[in-house]
Structures are given as structure tokens and as C-alpha cells.
């Protein structure tokens, strides 16, 4: 038994397909009460479900929102995805998910697939990169996105504008003040941290990471500190772990070198106060913390550490992680809404979404009292 069609419903109700269509799927013209009733009854006696593909073809709009993330299992993206999902629901649309591991080539492919499905809008989360090896991929991605926009699509971008995008009206970026927030974080930290700062960053060229690094350095400079050394590794937990391992070795070395003095200074003498680590995201921070711990170092005793994002699942981590809270769900919602609003032709200035802001959240991992 194949799914029943509008025509069957119409026949059963004794009306034309046109009329059936008008009553079942909101049309401007409302058929008479009696007829409408007949059609409706016929419809659910047959268990009629409209074929969205056909509807889409006819109306040329699909009710689909494409979402591109690096990794849906990463809580950062999962939170954004939840927001997107909610916004989609408001618009009575469904979301098509693509995970790309951040590879521009895959992202391009995803965009093409979304375009093929005539997604009404697409939301692209996850940092763009400007790494040389991604250059070509980025260009293709931008071209694909541009084409999508020129064909009437709208894309909501989380964070940074897409590199090389030229289609004017199609892009709607939700700006996340990564740099400012990182600067503020640095400012607050300098108040309590006496030792040197070290930054664990993602690969160079990853915008989100670069912004946060830059902001943090700026904050340090403003506070009269010298710039932090920057360790680069993968933008995930294991990246953080690796960097953490390197730092652990260094901390231990420093301690050994200076261990001649009395035991009053906890992290060696020689002017080397306890270092403060800033990892550009929470997941990396957790990885780094795990590495330190595995090397017998304790936080905040032997080193302090701060992250970024304030991932909900990680809030129960101990010592509680100092970080910058970002309204991830809201970010996802806004990206989705802004793209949709433009899609609907509503004036973008009207009901513009409030700018994203974050909140410095100092917790145990950077306490210096102990």
C-alpha cells in the first residue's frame, strides 16, 4: 500500500484536487465549510500525508534548514544545534544535519547537498579557517555558498564571516565577541594571577581560536603583562591533553631547578610563580587539566587554568573551570532566525536580535588563595 495522494483524497471527497489542496494545505482561498469538512474527513480516513517533496517542487521551498557543524558529539556544537532546532521548530521547519570535521571540502559538499534539497536557509557553525592548506577548500566553499545565496538562499553564520563570500544579501552573521571576551578574561585573571600566562590555542588560522588568543594577549598587554607564549594543537580534548603534557613537563622542570630554596614557595622559586593556562575552549582546558593531573600536578595548586565557552556538561568538572559563558543555544537560535527572517523578506532591522554577549566566570581552577 503506497501512501495515498491528494488526488485520491479529492476523489473520495468528490471534489477536484485543486479544492482538496486548498483545504488541506493553507491556501489564500478558503473553500466552503461543508466541502472543507468532507475533504478533511476523506483525508484522515485515508491517512493522507502530503508529499513534502512534491509540495516543495511546486512551491519551490522545502521547509528545510541545513545545519553544518564540525562534530555533533562535541558539546559546543550540540548546544548550538539545540538552539537551531528550537528556532526551526518555531518556523515549522526541519533541520538537516551535516557534520564535516571542519574540512572545507566536506563543508562545500554539504552546502551543495543542502542546495540540492533546496534548503530554505543554512546555518554554518564552527570556525572558518584561514590556514594555507584550507585555502583552496575555502574558496570552493565560499563559491558554493555564494551560488546558494544568489539562488535566493540565506545563510546564518556563527562567529566569523565566511572568507571570500561576496554575495551581498545572503549572509547573516551572528557575531560572537570572542576577542573582547578573551581580553576581559585576561584582565580579570591578571588581577589574581602573578605568574606567567601560557595559551593553549587551536591550529593557527582557526578564527575562533585566533580571536581568543589575540584578545587574551591584548588583555594581558593592557594589564602590563608580557605576552603569553602560545602552544598550538588540535582544537579538541586531545589537543588540550597534548599541550597539557608539554606544560606539565615544563612545570616540573622549573620546579626541580628551583627546588633548592625553602619549601614556602609552592611552584619553585627563581621568580617562576605558578603559571596560568588559558585554553581557548573548555574541552581543550579539560584535556590540559587531565594531562596535568596525570603528571601528578594539581590545579590550582601547581598551575591555574581557564577555558572558554562554559560547556554545560563540563560544569561539574572539578576543580570548577574558570571560563567565559557563551549563550550557545541562543547563538544557534539567532543564526537560524536571522537567516529565516531575511528569507521571509521581513525587514532585518526590525526585531533585530540582541547582540551576543558572554560572561566571565571565575571559578576554582584559577583561585590563588589555596
Partner DNA sequence: GCTGATTGGGAAAGCGCATTCCCACTGCAT
Partner DNA sequence: ATGCAGTGGGAATGCGCTTTCCCAATCAGC
CB-based contacts of 155, cutoff 8 Å, min separation 6: 121, 122, 123, 124, 145, 148, 149, 162, 170, 171, 172, 339
CB atoms within 10 A of CB 62: 20
Residue 150 found at the interface with DNA (CB under 7 A):
no
In the set 37, 41, 45, 57, which binds DNA (CB under 7 A)? 57
3-state secondary structure of 158: strand
Residue 17 found at the interface with its own copies (CB under 8 A):
no
Residue 105 found at the interface with its own copies (CB under 8 A):
no
Check: CB of residue 52 under 8 Å from CB of residue 6.
no
By a kind-dependent CB cut-off of 5 to 8 A, residue 326 interacts, out of DNA, its own copies, none, with none
Q: Measuring CA to CA, how many Å separate 91 from each of 23, 85, 87, 165, 336? A: 21, 10, 7, 26, 10
Residue 92 found at the interface with DNA (CB under 7 A):
no
**How far apart, in whole angstroms, are the C-alpha atoms of residue 139 and residue 44?**
50
Check: CB of residue 217 under 8 Å from CB of residue 227.
yes
The DSSP symbol for 129 reads B
Q: Whole-number minimum distance, CB 113 to its own copies, in Å?
A: 6
Check: CB of residue 51 under 8 Å from CB of residue 7.
no
Q: Whole-number minimum distance, CB 153 to DNA, in Å?
A: 14
Residue 85 found at the interface with DNA (CB under 7 A):
no
By a kind-dependent CB cut-off of 5 to 8 A, residue 322 interacts, out of its own copies, DNA, none, with none
Q: Whole-number minimum distance, CB 119 to DNA, in Å?
A: 15
Q: Whole-number minimum distance, CB 114 to DNA, in Å?
A: 15
**How far apart, in whole angstroms, are the C-alpha atoms of residue 303 and residue 241?**
15
For its own copies, the closer of residues 35 and 105 by Cβ is: 105
Check: CB of residue 275 under 8 Å from CB of residue 251.
yes
For its own copies, the closer of residues 166 and 259 by Cβ is: 166
Residue 55 found at the interface with DNA (CB under 7 A):
yes
**How far apart, in whole angstroms, are the C-alpha atoms of residue 119 and residue 170?**
13
The DSSP symbol for 101 reads T
Residue 246 found at the interface with its own copies (CB under 8 A):
no
CB-based contacts of 236, cutoff 8 Å, min separation 6: 71, 74, 283, 284, 287
Residue 30 found at the interface with its own copies (CB under 8 A):
no
Residue 32 found at the interface with DNA (CB under 7 A):
yes
Specify the stretch interacting with DNA by CB under 7 A; choose among 15-23, 66-74, 120-128, 141-149: 15-23
3-state helix, strand, coil in the chain (%, to 5): 45, 15, 40
3-state secondary structure of 106: helix
In the set 173, 234, 254, 290, which binds its own copies (CB under 8 A)? 290
By a kind-dependent CB cut-off of 5 to 8 A, residue 99 interacts, out of DNA, its own copies, none, with its own copies
For its own copies, the closer of residues 238 and 269 by Cβ is: 238
Residue 11 found at the interface with its own copies (CB under 8 A):
no
Specify the stretch interacting with its own copies by CB under 8 A; choose among 15-23, 97-105, 174-182, 217-225: 97-105
Residue 24 found at the interface with DNA (CB under 7 A):
yes
**Interface ranges with DNA (CB under 7 A):** 2-3, 5-7, 14-19, 21-22, 24-25, 27, 29-32, 34-35, 48, 50-51, 54-55, 57-60
**Interface ranges with its own copies (CB under 8 A):** 1-3, 47, 49-54, 56-57, 62, 64, 67, 71-75, 78-79, 81-82, 85, 94-99, 112-113, 115-118, 147, 150-152, 237, 283, 286-287, 289-290, 293, 312-314, 316-318, 329
Amino acid at each position: 500500500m503506497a501512501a495515498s495522494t491528494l488526488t485520491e483524497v479529492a476523489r473520495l471527497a468528490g471534489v477536484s484536487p485543486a479544492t482538496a489542496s486548498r483545504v488541506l494545505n493553507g491556501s489564500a482561498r478558503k473553500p466552503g465549510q461543508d466541502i472543507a469538512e468532507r475533504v478533511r474527513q476523506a483525508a484522515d480516513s485515508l491517512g493522507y500525508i502530503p508529499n513534502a517533496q512534491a509540495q516543495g517542487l511546486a512551491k519551490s521551498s522545502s521547509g528545510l534548514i541545513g545545519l553544518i557543524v564540525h562534530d555533533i558529539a562535541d558539546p559546543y556544537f550540540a548546544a548550538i544545534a539545540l538552539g537551531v532546532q528550537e528556532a526551526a521548530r518555531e518556523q515549522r521547519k526541519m533541520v538537516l544535519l551535516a557534520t564535516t570535521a571542519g574540512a572545507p571540502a566536506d563543508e562545500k559538499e554539504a552546502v551543495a547537498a543542502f542546495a540540492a534539497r533546496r534548503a530554505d536557509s543554512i546555518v554554518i557553525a564552527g570556525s572558518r579557517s584561514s590556514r594555507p592548506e584550507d585555502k583552496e577548500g575555502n574558496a570552493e566553499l565560499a563559491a558554493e555558498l555564494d551560488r546558494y545565496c544568489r539562488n535566493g538562499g540565506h545563510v546564518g553564520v556563527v562567529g566569523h564571516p565566511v572568507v571570500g563570500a561576496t554575495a551581498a544579501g545572503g549572509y547573516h552573521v551572528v557575531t560572537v565577541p570572542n576577542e573582547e571576551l578573551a581580553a576581559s578574561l585576561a584582565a580579570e585573571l591578571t588581577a589574581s594571577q602573578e605568574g606567567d600566562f601560557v595559551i593553549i590555542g587551536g591550529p593557527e588560522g582557526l578564527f575562533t581560536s585566533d580571536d581568543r588568543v589575540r584578545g587574551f594577549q591584548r588583555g594581558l598587554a593592557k594589564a602590563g603583562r608580557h605576552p603569553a607564549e602560545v602552544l598550538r594543537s588540535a582544537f579538541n580534548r586531545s589537543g588540550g591533553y597534548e599541550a597539557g603534557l608539554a606544560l606539565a613537563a615544563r612545570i616540573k622542570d622549573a620546579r626541580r631547578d628551583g627546588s633548592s630554596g625553602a619549601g614556602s614557595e609552592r611552584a619553585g622559586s627563581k621568580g617562576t610563580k605558578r603559571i596560568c593556562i588559558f585554553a581557548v575552549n573548555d574541552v581543550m582546558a579539560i584535556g590540559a587539566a587531565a594531562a596535568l593531573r596525570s603528571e601528578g600536578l594539581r590545579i590550582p595548586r601547581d598551575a591555574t587554568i581557564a577555558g572558554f565557552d562554559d560547556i554545560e556538561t563540563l560544569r561539574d568538572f572539578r576543580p570548577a573551570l574558570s571560563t567565559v559563558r557563551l549563550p550557545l543555544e541562543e547563538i544557534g537560535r539567532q543564526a537560524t532566525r536571522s537567516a529565516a527572517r531575511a528569507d521571509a523578506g521581513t525587514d532585518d532591522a526590525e526585531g533585530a536580535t540582541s547582540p551576543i554577549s558572554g560572561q566571565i566566570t571565575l571559578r576554582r581552577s584559577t583561585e590563588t588563595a589555596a
